[in-house]
Amino acid sequence: MVTRPQALALGCSRRRLATLERQGFLRKHLECLLIPSAVTRRSRADAQALTLRLGAGAVITGAAAAQILGCDGDWATRFCAITPMAYASVNRHISVAGARVLRRQFDGRAIHRRDLVFADRLTALLDTLQVVPTDLRADFLDHCLQRRWIRVDEAQRRLAGRSAGRQGRRSNAAERQALRHLRDGTHSAAERLMRRALLSARNRPGGRSGWHANHSVRVPVAKKAGFSHRLARIDFAWPDCRLALEVDGKAFHTSDAAFERDRDRRNDLQLGGWTVVHATWKSLTDDPRAVAGMVQATLKRLRASGASPSHP
């Protein structure tokens, strides 16, 4: 991959370059020229092109950096986040057609891979929010949270720090929306429906007797040689009476492996003294009040029976 001035300096005439482009041997990419047959990953091609255009001080971020750092899958296309992104070098004001150049101060950790510099995974994913359409941002964050690509506490601190660092200027709408989403504690559309149903029934979060979204607990796991322990995440938990509410989304149990994992997890929670109830996507969309009523009735029964609090 080279820029057009570099190709001319190497002895290629403008006519020859135009002929190679017309014949398909060369292709324009982010104002650079590349050989299509030599491209193995689009993310790396984006990173190389941006580094050529912006200089060695550029830091590649967004979907390209996240994919290079292990966030695999077709999520960038699914969430319309394929726009290449990079932090510009100091005192550089160049623009790159087809890419987004970020001129704010880089607040992440630089990761060097060969001759390229990438933003760390958290920074890359949070920067990706700038190009994800508004109606897809919640789903994008859910995708990242469910795959443990980002941690809620770290993401909240970073977004809050960015907002505070703007010194009175209007906060970024995408980051403001993301911060509200992270503070909700939900990781899926089904969990957000459940949250609204609980709040409508005046079942409040937090505190000693309220619910805690995506609550982690240590549960015993049966082994041949006895018992061990592991962390289990509960969609909505009431630790004071050990009630675990699991919310099954639209794509629930799309594979046999997922079905087995869910049953094993349910058994581990019950072995740890938790009462496990489920709410399905259909029940939440058809009659959310009935689901909230079921939860209230279960809570009343457990508290009346004197269920002991769980251990952290």
81, 160, 184 from 62: Cα distances, Å: 8, 19, 24
Three-state DSSP state, 163? helix
Count of alpha carbons within 13 Å of 155, Cβ hemisphere only?
26
The answer to whether the CB of 247 falls within 8 A of the CB of 188 is yes
DSSP codes joined into one string, 249-294: -TTTT-SHHHHHHHHHHHHHHHHTT-EEEEEEHHHHHH-HHHHHHH
- Whole-number pLDDT of residue 169: 47
Reply yes or no on domain 189-304 having CATH 2.30.110.10.
no
The answer to whether the CB of 195 falls within 8 A of the CB of 224 is no
pLDDT in tens, the chain (312 residues): 777 787 778 778 888 878 877 877 777 877 777 777 665 678 889 999 999 888 888 999 999 999 999 999 999 999 999 999 999 876 567 888 899 999 888 989 999 988 899 999 999 999 999 999 999 999 999 999 989 899 999 999 999 888 876 644 445 888 888 998 888 888 888 999 999 999 999 999 988 889 999 898 988 776 655 667 788 889 999 999 999 999 987 654 445 666 677 778 888 888 889 999 999 999 999 999 999 999 999 999 999 987 555 444
- Whole-number pLDDT of residue 119: 96
How is residue 283 written in tokens?
A: 């029940």
d(CA 309, CA 119): 43
What's the predicted TM-score (pTM) here? 0.77
- Whole-number pLDDT of residue 310: 47
d(CA 190, CA 239): 21
Going from N- to C-terminal start, the domains of the chain cover 1-39, 55-184, 189-304
d(CA 23, CA 13): 15
Helix (H) or strand (E) holding 176, with range, is helix 173-184
217, 218, 221 from 274: Cα distances, Å: 10, 11, 13
How is residue 281 written in tokens?
A: 């996507």
| CA atoms 186, 189, 191, 194: torsion sign | positive
How is residue 70 written in tokens?
A: 């292990």
